[in-house]
Each structure stands twice: as structure tokens, then as C-alpha cells.
A and B are shown apart, each in its own frame.
Chain A
């Protein structure tokens, strides 16, 4: 459900969520701690959803504001929220408004303005051009969708910067304007009152029509030749031609056009230029005076957080996280989610924006590191023991991360070199017998390494001290054989001999290597291990995202089952090599939502650890 997935897990950056056949869009009201969710069928693309959700939010909040403010939780419990009628009304309004601004049917060639293009369009002097361009922009206050409004300011800035003919970019935007102008013109002339259709198919339709300009339109070479400035004049003059028939309408539309521009701020086509354009004016005015009072007001409290306040702080935090080795995309998503959570929240007394954002980010990080379900290996091994079957753990990962090492290290050697203990040692210390399956049949010396460790483990824990059973044994079949087959044999051997745990060591492989990934997926699908652990080193940066995503994808693709076995846990190795740049832990847990089961440190006496979420987050947030 929407409440259990994106919001708690800090994936709240994107405000829509798909669940089975429904798409859910949600909006958070952080001031009163409300969540507004709109659900509709995935196959429909309804454009009025965002507007509807905003309207509902505003109405609901205004109507029941008292109850929230005064009575708190009791108000929520006891109040009756008879919102159904209001909701139906808003829904109807939203539906109708979307119908009004619908674009319409495709025109035939005769109806389109291309056929009306005259030679006049070719001939135009340079002097008039910039001025007309500017006027054009004003007229093109579109009634329809954001791309037009966007194209307008972008053109304005382009024209301001340079008066000479522009490069390709300008041509393209002009073409878009061309298209839209034609549509507008046609609509006004023909007054087609068609059914509602979302702007999205329209935008796509327009883009689809663009090539037609090149093919069927003016085949005059001069128009198509944008190489030098002289001929640019001819191409740019085409909008001017539009300008003439449109002129009467253009003027009529000028003022309403500008208003529409502000009104139809649709989320769909969000462009930076538009955002830059709109706030630039208000912020300029408020700059000086606002700064002084804003600081004081911020200290005293009862100021609600806006996106603008948070953006600089969030930028800094994002850079800080990236400097601490968190993958870039994850840092961005995290900051987005924190921003969504804090937007509109009322600040208490003596809290600054920075402190609020920092605290929210800290909570988010702790939440990410504290997993959905804690993996308690010992507990699960006990369960498997009761059912008289071995508990199978598979280790996978790329080359050189420390799979075999962490698996088999036999520690407690107080020498300066300190062997350190691995997973099998830990299991044996707790009284479970372990079978190590050497399924790394590729790397030279892999089997010998495991054999050496096994011998040492047996020396430390001889059968005599454990009631006559061998605590650890190595199952190997040499090199070059099929890993999945060896694993299967090892598991049945363990079952026959009564071993408690089977640790399957696989060969390291790059995530891009398709045949090897298939082989791994096959091994896991066929043998159905109880625990699939991904071994990753703490040094990895943005690579972690790629590795985990591709590993999970490979496992999912090649599994026959309905619910494929994915990575269940993460082993983070070489943790001692990073001082406080512990971002890899965050990247990995964020991608998979699975816990970090073991942490390998490698240099301390006791090498195998578990993750201390608070310490990691403290290290991350440290300046």
C-alpha cells in the first residue's frame, strides 16, 4: 500500500506510485500532517489529477483548519469530515476544466497554414526580425500547455542575448511555436469543439507532425538552409507570416494569453526556464527587505518552510553526502524526499532551516539503514536445524570484494598479522557445523584457499571438542566444473551428513557480463538458498548502484518462479579502509531495501561485525 512503501522508506521524492492496475498520486501536507491520495486506473492519463489534488487539499484544509489546530488528535478522532459533496463538486470542476482546454482534431493539409504560406515569407529584412520575434512571443500566450509558455520565455531570453541569427536551438523552438500557432489559429477559426484529450498525446502528436514541415512544406532550399545568417532571415520570417493572419487575433489574445500562462502551470512539462522566469520578478523585490525580517522571523518561529528556503541547504547537504561517497542519484533522491517531507512545515522557535533539514535528513538516513526485517542468521539456522535440513547461504558479488576471505577466515590468531574471523568461524563458535561448497571453479587458487582455511578451522575446533562431529568440511570438485551442479551436490551431501549450514562460495563476476550473470541466476534459482548475500566493498561509490541493480535484475529475469529470489542481505567488506566516508552503506541499502547483515573490517582482532546505524549516520553527517 502507498503508506507502507514510498513514504516511510524515504522514496517520497516522486509523487506518484503504481500499484497493480492503479496509479496513485499523493500530496503531503506537512503542516497538519495529512496525506492526500488520488487513485486512478493506470491506463488512463488524466491531466486534471494534479489540479484536483491541490484543490482538494486547499478546501479540506480551510474547512477543517480549526479542528486540526485546536483539538489535535482528538479533533481528528471525533470530528466528522463530511467532505463527500465537496469532493464530488471539485471532481466535476476539474473534469470540465480539462475538457475546455483540450486540443483537437488533426487538420487536413488544406486547412493547415502551410498551404497558405506565401513567398512573402521568404522576403524579410533583418531589421524587423528581432522586434517581430519579441512581439510574437507576447502573442503566443498559449491557451494550452506549458511547452508553449516555456518556449516563449526561452525565446525571449535568446533574443535578448543575441540579435543575430541563432543556431539550431532557436530554429527548433521556433518550429514548435510554428506548430502551436497553427493549431491555435485553426482552432479559433474552425471552433472545433471536440472531446477532451490530454495535452500529452497532443504534445506527442505535435512532435510527430514536426517532420512534415521538412517534407511537405516549403521545399525551397533557402528555408531549409540554416547555414549562414542571410538565409536565416528567410526561415525566421515564417513566424512572421503566421503573425499576419493572426494579427487581429494575436492582439486580442495578448493579455489573456499572459494570464493563461501563469494559470496552467502543469506539472507535466516542467522546464527550468519557466521556473527561472517566474520567481525572478518577485524575488528581486523582496530581496533587500525580506532578508532582514526573514532572518528575525525565522528565529522567532511560526514561519512555514518553503522550497526556496530549503533549496540552498539541500544543495549543500547533497554535496556533503556525495563527498561522503554516497552515490549521486541516491543523494539526489534522498534530498528530494526530505524536501517533500518538510515543505510547508511550521518551524518551531529558535530552529533554523539548516537545523531542521539536517535533523530530517538524519532521521531519513537512520530509517534507511534500519531494515524492513532484521536478518537473524542464527535464529534461522536453528529453525532449519529443527526441520532437519541445512541452511544454505550463497555469496555473490563482483571480483575481488572479499567473498572467499570473509567466508572462510579462521581467526583468533593473536599474532601481529591477525587472521581475523570470518562467517564460518562465527557459526562454528556458536555450535553449528558448516559445509563450505567451493563453487568458485574459475579463479586459480580459490579451492586451495578454502582448503587452507578449513584445515585451520578444524585445528581450532577439533571433532573431539564437539562430540565427535567434524565442525567444518570443504566440498569441492576441482576447477572447470559447473557451479550450480556442485552446489546441488553439496547441499544433498550436507543433508545426508547432517551439516547445519552450507556456505556456497561463487566466483566473482562483473555485473555486465551476461553469461556469467545467467549462470549465477541459474545457480540460485535451481538451488533455492535460504539466504542470498551480496558482498560489496565499502570503497565502491556510484558503482554500487549499478552493481546491485544489475544483479537483482539478472536474478529476477532468469528465475522461473512467480516471486523470484532476490538479494536478501548485504555484506559490506573492507570497512576499515574508509574513515568516515561511509556512504556506500547508504547507497546499497537504499537500492535494495535489504539490511546489511555483516560488516567486515579486516584489521581489528575481531573482524566480523554488524552495522551500527547510529554511528554510521553520525559519521555521515559529521562536517
Chain B
């Protein structure tokens, strides 16, 4: 076996010492450069054209997604995977954003957020205004997790907190939701930073807002807006959805 290989190796060695080596090297470098350029171009093209729809379970993200894209009402189920589609801003046909609807289920949400956060140009955080009183802590916790994420802090995508389900009479107003969230996030940043650190933690948890002062959404590096909307619409399933505020904001952001 080895004897058979030896003459081949010798031949190879002899060949390599020729001018062929140089041409091989040049070819390799050319390939590498093209590869790098291609990656760079691809990165530029696909960078951050996505608008993520986040929120707790049953906040109305999937219905909102369906309404924005097709204008019709659809019965939806709990999402277990993401859905994405291209949304054209109605007046200006040239600009478009990719709407991505992520599942709200606790076991899935962080995993999908990890996948899509780098591509996010804007985030729509959908809040169920009716169940808000009950779910304040969970909403705040998820929002906190989104806000302290290092990628999000670095890219600072515009944040819209959409207070959904305004067609129900018991829905809380956007102002109230804002106040409660600020209070809750204030408490959360104290408790979270005091929580035991994890093994191999790289640095401490990011600080949200300014220390010493009560938390305020204006302290965040990104623009935050609150908007009221209703995916179902006040006329029930047949009617139009009440999404003006949301659509206007999308136009601004795109």
C-alpha cells in the first residue's frame, strides 16, 4: 500500500515545485475575494428589513399580521412557528418591509427572537389591552428581555407598543398601559440585576434606562411609541380593522 503511494507523492512534489504553484495560489486568492464581496453585498442587501411582531400568547399578533397583509379576518390558532411575508406600504409601492410574526408561547419566543433579532429594523410589541391588568408582570418581563438584549440595544430598532383589542369596552388605554409598564420595568431592573449571575456570564445584565431615576421609556436608546389598535375591528369579523395608527407608524419606519 505505502509503496504504491510513494511514487505518486514524489510526482506530486515535483509538480508542486513548478510555476503551477503560483497560479494555484492566485486562483485561491481570487476565489476568497469574490466570496468576501459576495458576503458583504448579501449582508448589505438583507440587513434589517424586517418588522417583528412580538407579544404574549393571544395578544393578537397573527390576526394583526393577517389583517395587514390581506385585509381579511381569519380564525387563528396559537402559532408554533414564525410566518413572514412582504408588506408593501400602500401609497409608495417601492418600499416594502418584511413582516415577521413570531410565536408568543413561552418556550418558543426566545428561540425565535434569537433567530430574527439581528434583522429587525423595527419591533411591534403587541399587548392585549383587555387582559393587561392580569398579565402586567408577564408583559413587562418579556418586554424587559427584549430590551436588554445586546443585539437590540446595539441596533436600536424603533419600538411600537401596540395596545390591541381596543374594540372591547374593558380595554385599557395606551396611556395607562404606558404608566404601568414603566412602573413594572422599574421594579424589574432592580430585581433582575440583583438576581444571581449565571455561570460563565459575560459581564452583568445590561442596565435599562438611567440609574437613580425612575424608568421612563424616553430613556431608551430607541424611539418608543404607543398606539391603540384593534385587529378585529369594531364591526366584528366582517368589518375593517382599526389599524390606522399602526399603518401610519409603519409608513414612518419603512
Residues of A whose CB lies within 8 Å of any CB of B are 1, 3-4, 7-9, 33, 35, 72-74, 76-78, 363, 366-368, 370-374, 376, 378-379, 382, 426, 429-430, 575, 598-599, 601, 606, 608-612, 615
Flag if B141 contacts A374 (CB, 8 Å): yes
Flag if A74 contacts B195 (CB, 8 Å): no
Flag if A370 contacts B85 (CB, 8 Å): no
Task: With A4-B78, A370-B107, A610-B197 as known contacts, state yes or no: A376 contacts B69, CB within 8 Å.
Answer: no
CA distance A546 to B82 in the complex (A): 36
Task: With A379-B137, A382-B187, A606-B197 as known contacts, state yes or no: A78 contacts B81, CB within 8 Å.
Answer: no
The chain A residue with its CB closest to the CB of B74 is: A77
CA distance A213 to B111 in the complex (A): 60
**Quick one: which of A73, A382, A599 contacts B85, CB cutoff 8 A?**
A73
Residues of A within 8 A of B199 (CB): 575, 599, 601, 609, 611-612, 615
Flag if B83 contacts A609 (CB, 8 Å): no
Flag if B198 contacts A379 (CB, 8 Å): no
Task: With A78-B70, A376-B195, A379-B137 as known contacts, state yes or no: A3 contacts B107, CB within 8 Å.
Answer: no
28 A-B contact pairs sorted by A residue (CB < 8 Å): A3-B80, A7-B80, A8-B80, A8-B107, A73-B85, A74-B85, A76-B83, A77-B66, A77-B70, A78-B70, A363-B111, A366-B111, A367-B107, A372-B107, A373-B106, A376-B192, A379-B191, A429-B194, A575-B199, A599-B196, A599-B198, A601-B199, A608-B196, A609-B196, A609-B198, A610-B197, A610-B198, A615-B198
Flag if B106 contacts A3 (CB, 8 Å): no
Distance in angstroms from B117 CB to nearest chain A CB is 15
Beyond contacts A73-B69, A77-B70, A429-B194: 8 other A-B pairs, Cβ-Cβ < 8 A, are A367-B111, A370-B110, A371-B107, A372-B107, A379-B137, A606-B197, A608-B196, A612-B200
**How would residues 67 to 108 of chain B score, 1 for a CB under 8 Å from any chain A CB and 0 otherwise?**
001101010011011011100000000000000000101111
Distance in angstroms from B133 CB to nearest chain A CB is 14
Task: With A371-B106, A575-B199, A606-B197 as known contacts, state yes or no: A73 contacts B83, CB within 8 Å.
Answer: yes
CA distance A608 to B197 in the complex (A): 8
Flag if B74 contacts A610 (CB, 8 Å): no
Residues of A within 8 A of B254 (CB): none
Flag if B69 contacts A74 (CB, 8 Å): yes
Flag if A8 contacts B105 (CB, 8 Å): yes
Residues of B within 8 A of A611 (CB): 198-199
**How would residues 9 to 50 of chain B score, 1 for a CB under 8 Å from any chain A CB and 0 otherwise?**
000000000000000000000000000000000000000000
Residues of B within 8 Å of A, CB-based: how many?
Answer: 36
Q: Does B188 have its Cβ within 8 Å of any Cβ on chain A?
A: yes
The chain A residue with its CB closest to the CB of B194 is: A430
CA distance A77 to B70 in the complex (A): 7
**Quick one: which of B57, B84, B201 contacts A4, CB cutoff 8 A?**
B57
Residues of B within 8 A of A3 (CB): 77-78, 80, 105
Task: With A8-B107, A598-B196 as known contacts, state yes or no: A72 contacts B85, CB within 8 Å.
Answer: yes
Q: Which of A35, A372, A378, A606 has the most CB of B within 10 A?
A: A378
CA distance A606 to B200 in the complex (A): 12
Residues of B within 8 A of A7 (CB): 80
Flag if B194 contacts A378 (CB, 8 Å): yes
CA distance A1 to B191 in the complex (A): 33
CA distance A213 to B54 in the complex (A): 66
CA distance A611 to B201 in the complex (A): 10
Interface residues of B in 172-219 (CB under 8 A from A): 187-188, 190-192, 194-201
CA distance A7 to B85 in the complex (A): 24
The chain A residue with its CB closest to the CB of B198 is: A612
Flag if A77 contacts B106 (CB, 8 Å): no
Q: Which of A8, A78, A366, A370 has the most CB of B within 10 A?
A: A8
Distance in angstroms from B31 CB to nearest chain A CB is 16
CA distance A598 to B103 in the complex (A): 28
Flag if A77 contacts B69 (CB, 8 Å): yes
Residues of A within 8 A of B190 (CB): 378
CA distance A141 to B69 in the complex (A): 56
The chain B residue with its CB closest to the CB of A374 is: B141
The chain B residue with its CB closest to the CB of A8 is: B107
Residues of A within 8 A of B192 (CB): 376
Flag if B196 contacts A376 (CB, 8 Å): no
